[in-house]
Structures are given as C-alpha cells and as structure tokens.
C-alpha cells in the first residue's frame, strides 16, 4: 500500500511542469543534504513520500535540473551524511 502511494506521488510530481516541481520542492520539501560536483551544488530534498535532487549551477546560482530519485540506490552518495529516520513521516 505504501509503495503504491509513493509511486503515485512520484508520478504526479513528474507530470508537473518544471516551475511547478520547483515550487513544490521549495514549499513542501525538507532539505536533507547538499553535496558538490564540479560546477554544481546538488541538494537532496524529501518531498512528501519521495526524494528529489536539485542541481544548482555554481556560476549562475540557478537551478538547472530537478531530478526525482526513483531508486534507493540513487541515495547512496548521501547516506553517510543523513539520518533518514529523523526526517521521514511516521507513516513510511
């Protein structure tokens, strides 16, 4: 049941426009961690029951990519820095 709800929320998120995705991340997202790649800051957010990564250009200071993390393996670069149990809703 929970897996279905996660999938439905993620699917709804993907159907949003780029600006609507950004708005949802900024309004409802919880920033969990940031990391750096050459030229970008990557911010990991918990949004509702899924995770979203935003890519911020270090030169222009704007979000160039909003990426839904659809697989738990994609969280690997963040796992040593965050405790997910402290930020996830009780129903997960």
pLDDT greater at residue 84 or residue 34: 34
Domain membership of residue 91 (yes or no) is no
Domain tally for the chain?
1
Is residue 82 within 8 A of residue 33, CB to CB? The reply is: yes
Domain membership of residue 69 (yes or no) is yes
> How many residues appear in the chain?
92
Q: Which are the contacts of 51, defined by CB distance < 8 A and separation ≥ 6?
A: 32, 44, 45, 68, 69, 74, 75
Domain membership of residue 92 (yes or no) is no
Domain membership of residue 27 (yes or no) is yes
Strand partners, 51: 46, 69
The pLDDT tens digits of the residues spanning 3-61 come to: 444 556 899 999 999 999 999 999 999 999 999 999 999 999 999 889 999 999 999 99
Q: Is the pTM higher than 0.85? A: no
Residue 92 is predicted with a pLDDT of 45
Domain membership of residue 74 (yes or no) is yes
| Residues spanned by the domain of 48 | 2-84
**Range ranked top by mean pLDDT from 4-8, 26-30, 73-77, 86-90:** 26-30
Residue 84 is predicted with a pLDDT of 58
Residue 90 has pLDDT above 90, yes or no: no
The Cα-based distances of 76 to 16, 47, 70 in angstroms read 26, 18, 12
């Amino acid at each position: 049941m929970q897996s279905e709800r996660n999938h439905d929320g993620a699917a709804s998120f993907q159907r949003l426009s780029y600006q609507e995705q950004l708005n949802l991340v900024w309004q409802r997202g919880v920033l969990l961690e940031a990391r750096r790649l050459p030229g970008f800051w990557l911010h990991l957010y918990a949004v509702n029951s899924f995770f979203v990564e935003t890519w911020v250009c270090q030169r222009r200071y704007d979000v160039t990519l909003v990426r839904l993390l659809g697989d738990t393996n994609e969280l690997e670069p963040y796992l040593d820095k965050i405790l997910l149990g402290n930020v996830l809703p009780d129903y997960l």
